[in-house]
Structure 1
């Protein structure tokens, strides 16, 4: 069911047919109201400086655009940073120090999958999850952070920061806000970015398969699984789940048995939730690098 829903949503946002186009225009007034609320919130903002460099990596649209891999690349390029994020779908509340100087201090249930992905893929990782980003920034500062990186922090209009916005590829067909379109912030808000990042121009990613086997099934719970389409040709099947899905061991065993598979091909975000199951795993290892222009921008901000 989710697989069919995802395919429909992807078509609706990227290449709608005539009926979906009509639906988008019918919903446009609701999207316009939503857009006006966001614009009012932005205009009424009062920016607060936390006296420490703060960088936000975000996007304007729904779905995955590669924020986490890009943020990991920045944190690995420039040492001394703390990453702050909400910890979506974590089974905890409040501020939690997930990792400090590379030592992991919480499990994935308390941290959430994205926070644990940072903890395991950033050198000497410093990771904080908190619903209140300002409180987390102050905690990072107290712990000696040189700078703070906000994962998906563009909408925190009250925080003074360097705003990096990722422009997705491909872009949605219509520049409408939800529910009419894929934009959660008005398309015009690109003007408020300090830097617009675009994969293939400002940063580059390469992937390879670790522990590749003959009969792999691609299993993933990321926001935009179409980003993994390049790997489908080496898999015998694929199973897509909702973003941040909490996998159960038995359902993964059933997938292995269903396809007579030799391993499950997963992303690093998926791995942090299923490595405890001791199942045959193949891993998509992703490395993102920054252009010289991008590096210089961040360097001037944090030094």
Structure 2
């Protein structure tokens, strides 16, 4: 189910939350269980190279746009990448070939619908089964969107997306904090950190624990496509993503005036009541509705008020940009992983 992270996971100041302290022993236990799961399982080694785009913490960090950027790079080199996703929030356990113009987010999840607009996409709750399915297709490489902590499928390259503002939160393990496993344990299995956002010295110092001993690549999530229509426009904005306020900030940076902002939990399934409230507000204020591509695809195939909301809402697309030095560094990491796979 969609949810909003507890406030103590990402405190604005010093972490002294009673809940974080009280849940810390459970977090330590959860971390040990994660390590036991890894030790108890022998990962499947695919015949295809596997690049995993993951993160150390629960929640959004830019994994999906980063996965798309990597796949686009691979296509430029003549490769045929296939995305492999769990299909979070979808009922279909797979393996299933995502049809972006036919499938619903309720069946395959919202992120796979975005991925499938850039490269063939397979969802599978069982990552090994998904890899085996992809091996029977025309793919030359598998790009995993998430699944870094899943031990069932061996990875040839693991790139970790880190939001520079959100960082590692209180650096405690679920449920006390956002870490999906002990940090040192995760670092051992990572190959590089992709820091997305602010690259000031203060921001990088906050991420020192995550970056220790790993190559660090700097990138930014920026608007993509035509955004001129937003400049000087008064709008109603809504978003159900990991950090809705980040989307609202992006709109303001594009010189849009947000008359009303509505934040929903990540992967939020819009109800008829949600849609009716937003449509009514837009009609009363005589203002356009704006949301993210991820929210928009979640409304595909819906009828009634939600379908009307989709039809009356415009979107702002995003993409990952890298400076030339960071782009060269990422290219080298990927090429080294592909060469090592072929030599194995």
Match of 2:330 among 289, 294, 298: 294
**TM-aligned CA deviation for residue 26 of structure 1:** 2.0
**TM-aligned CA deviation for residue 232 of structure 1:** 5.6
Q: Partner of 1:226 in structure 2?
A: 245
After the TM superposition, which residues 1-303 of structure 1 pair with which residues of structure 2 at under 5 Å, given as runs? 6=4, 9-10=6-7, 12-15=9-12, 21-79=17-75, 80-99=80-99, 104=101, 106-120=103-117, 122=118, 125-161=119-155, 162-170=157-165, 171-188=167-184, 189-200=186-197, 201-207=217-223, 209=227, 211-212=229-230, 214-231=233-250, 233=252, 234-248=257-271, 251-258=274-281, 260-274=285-299, 277-278=307-308, 279-290=311-322, 291-302=327-338
Q: CA RMSD in A?
A: 2.6
Q: TM-score, normalised by structure 1?
A: 0.86
Moved more, 175-184 or 245-254: 245-254
Q: Distance in 2 between matches of 1:68 and 1:263?
A: 27
Do the aligned partners of 2:235 and 2:260 also contact (CA within 8 Å) in 1?
yes
Q: Distance in 2 between matches of 1:118 and 1:9?
A: 28
Q: Distance in 2 between matches of 1:261 and 1:181?
A: 42
Q: Identify if the C-alpha distance between structure 1 residues 55 and 12 changes in structure 2 by more than 3 Å, giving closer, same or farther.
A: closer
Number of equivalences: 292
Q: TM-score, normalised by structure 2?
A: 0.76
Do the aligned partners of 2:83 and 2:120 also contact (CA within 8 Å) in 1?
yes
Unaligned stretches of 5+ in structure 2? 198-216, 302-306, 340-344
Q: Identify if the C-alpha distance between structure 1 residues 133 and 227 changes in structure 2 by more than 3 Å, giving closer, same or farther.
A: same
Do the aligned partners of 1:232 and 1:238 also contact (CA within 8 Å) in 2?
no
Unaligned stretches of 5+ in structure 1? none
Q: Identify if the C-alpha distance between structure 1 residues 267 and 285 changes in structure 2 by more than 3 Å, giving closer, same or farther.
A: same
